Structure formats: structure tokens, C-alpha cells
Structure 1
Amino acid sequence: MFKYYEYIVKKNHEEAVKWFQKAANQGDVYSKYSVYSHYSLGCMYQEGKGVDQDLNEAVRLYTLAADQGNAPAQYNLGWMYENVRGVNESFQKAARWYRLAVDQGHVEEQNALELTI
């Protein structure tokens, strides 16, 4: 399960994607490994590392993780709504996702939240 870390450290993004997809496709979307894998794959699709950049897929994957309470995914979704990346601009949705991350104690997102309200 943690094999993908080896590939991340060595910067083999294609191999890391393979292992994240394997973890994400375990069938249990509530698994902490699945949630983290959705978030990590979202980052890779957003940045085009190991895969072709696909902002719509990044949003889909972040949403899967964010809906399960992953604060970094919530922040990234807020950022994508605020900066119109793979979604239509929506400061309301950006503020919602930022607020969820802040409510979990991720105070660094507080500045982003304040800018959207």
C-alpha cells in the first residue's frame, strides 16, 4: 500500500499515479487510504505530474476526498473555485470549502477564507 511513497520520493510520477489509482480504486471510498489517494491524484492531475493535466478530473478527485473531510482537498477545491480552475468561478463555493478546512483547525486557510467573504 505504501509502495507509491517510494515512487514519489524518486520522482517517478507515472508509477506514483499507478499506485495512487490502485489505492483509490479499492472500493471503499471511506478508507483513509482511498481518501488520501483521491487527494494525491487530484494534485497530480492539477499539476500534470505523471498524467496529462486535467483540471476537471482534479476537481472530481478533490471533491471525493473533500466530501470525506480531507482538509487539504477542501482547501484546494476552494482555491480552484476562487481562481476558476476546472470549475466556474464561485466565491460562495470557495468560501464553503475554505470554511470546512478552517473548521478542522487548518488556520492557514483562514486568510483565503477572509478574502472570499
Structure 2
Amino acid sequence: MKIAAVSFFIKAVGFYFAGNIQTIYLLQFFQISSYALLVPAQVYYAKEKVRDNDMVKGQAFITAAYALGCAAGNFAGGQLLSQGAGAILMAGICMAAAGTAIVFATVTKSDFCL
């Protein structure tokens, strides 16, 4: 989860400073170490943190968090769009930095039994 968090942050900063479409295409390679690692890692994390009889509920909460995050992100992105693309990209950097800080503050190596 920590690798995914850092990858999201690097990708957000890279998008902000990308000067051309080729750079954006190259930055998409961070999907391999960001979202592609996050999805299975959150399943393992839920398995370690949620009792077996509440596993479905844990997965449902993860799905609900994604849905709420997408809805809030779409609304906020629409509001920020009037400020320009730079404002949206800077907001992405701020949220990725906050998410990375939260992950590093709360996720420990003992949370995973890999």
C-alpha cells in the first residue's frame, strides 16, 4: 500500500509538470505500481483488519468508499474546472500527498502477512 501511495503521488506531480502528451503516456506506467498494487493490497488489508464473519461487510465498505470518492471527486473536479486545469492538477497533488501521509501514518508492516 505504501508503494501504491507513493506512486500515486509521483504520478500526480508528474501530470502537473508534464509538458506534452508523451510525458503523460509515460506517467501512465505508474498505474502498474499504483492502482494495480492498491486493489489487491486492500483486499489483504481488509482480511487482516476485519473479522472473518464481517469480510463481506469490509469489502462493501471499500466499494462504498470508492463510490463516494468518485462522486465527491467528480463534483470537486467540476467546481475546480472553472479555475483552470492547473487547479485540478494541484488539487490532485494535495490529495495524493495527504493520502500518502495517511497511509504511512497508519499502515504498518505487521498489517500484512505476505
Report the TM-score when normalising by structure 1.
0.25
**For the pair shown, which has the larger CA radius of gyration, 1 or 2?**
2
Of Structure 1 and Structure 2, the greater helix share is in 2
TM-score (norm 2): 0.25
